[in-house]
Chain A
Amino acid sequence: MSSIKIRASMVGDVAEVKCLMNHPMETGLRKDAKTGQLVPAHFIKSVVATVGGKTVLDAQWGGGISRNPYLAFRVKGAQKGDKVTVSWEDNKGAKESAEATIG
């Protein structure tokens, strides 16, 4: 099961998509409190979302997004039952994706 949680619902004629991802989002600038060493950068770099097979959001992120990122966006012209996909890739090449249906 994917670690991305998606909730998509119609608000009037606009689909609102909310998602939560699991990721440490390390900037590479934080020091480990115990060892005093810098914690290596480890963050999601790219997030792509599609609705009904079309890309609606193509995001680039830095380490400034909070740990376990939250993202919400709104799409006009979408309909109940349309498929939503959200996928990310981090700076180490790890990938996750998930899909949901607009309810």
Chain B
Amino acid sequence: MNYQRRQVLKGAGAAGAVGVAIAAGLLKPTAVYAATWNQAGFEARSVADALKAINATGAAESNQITIKAPDIAENGAVVPVEVTSSIPGTESIAIIGEKNNLPLVAQFDLMNGAEGFVSTRIKLGSTSNVRAVVKAGGKMYTAAKEVKVTIGGCGG
């Protein structure tokens, strides 16, 4: 039994190595998505730079944005976050983990009837504010909620 298991594991390891080689050498990201992806934002190391990259510097605090996230997250690798914006004309919602090495987590552009709502799961490196930034009618609004993290989800 054990011998067989070892063979299987070896096989899986070899296949994995080939996969990595293919991915590194042959598959190149297409230009279509690379052009729209906000590289400056996602590579920003500070909240200020991330906000700047999504044109949200000086966004107004708003109580029409609700962030639903646990007060205490036992596992920072999986923190459920739900953002609801009741600001009329919400066009996009961005989520920022303020103490993460790379603070900008995601930006969701909403259109054609999509409501001001997204729900997802994010990583938090440590206890930190989760900040939502909403674009509505060409203006930027923001709100934050603190999540205490027991085990960080970004280190190794």
Residues of A within 8 A of B (CB): 14, 18, 27, 29-33, 39-40, 42, 45-46, 51, 54-67, 69-78, 89, 91-94
CB contacts under 8 Å to A, within B86-115, are 95, 97, 100-115
A66, B104: Cβ atoms closer than 8 Å: no
A66, B153: Cβ atoms closer than 8 Å: yes
Pick from B77, B95, B101, B113: contact of A75, CB under 8 Å: B113
A-B pairs with beta carbons under 8 Å apart, 18 shown? A27-B154, A29-B102, A46-B33, A55-B111, A56-B112, A58-B108, A59-B106, A64-B105, A64-B123, A66-B77, A69-B120, A69-B121, A70-B80, A70-B120, A71-B120, A72-B82, A72-B119, A89-B33
CB contacts under 8 Å to A, within B24-46, are 24, 27-30, 33, 36-38, 41-42
A89 to B151, CA, bound (A): 29
Main secondary structure of the interface of A (DSSP, over half): strand
B107, A93: Cβ atoms closer than 8 Å: no
Q: Does B156 contact A (CB under 8 A)?
A: yes
A94 to B33, CA, bound (A): 11
In the bound complex, residues from chain A placing their C-beta under 8 Å from that of B95 are 64
B155, A57: Cβ atoms closer than 8 Å: no
A55 to B91, CA, bound (A): 13
A69 to B123, CA, bound (A): 11
B114, A74: Cβ atoms closer than 8 Å: yes
A62, B42: Cβ atoms closer than 8 Å: yes
A62 to B37, CA, bound (A): 9
A73, B33: Cβ atoms closer than 8 Å: no
User: Which 4 pairs, one residue from A and one from B, show the smallest C-beta to C-beta distance?
Assistant: A64-B105, A31-B156, A72-B119, A62-B42
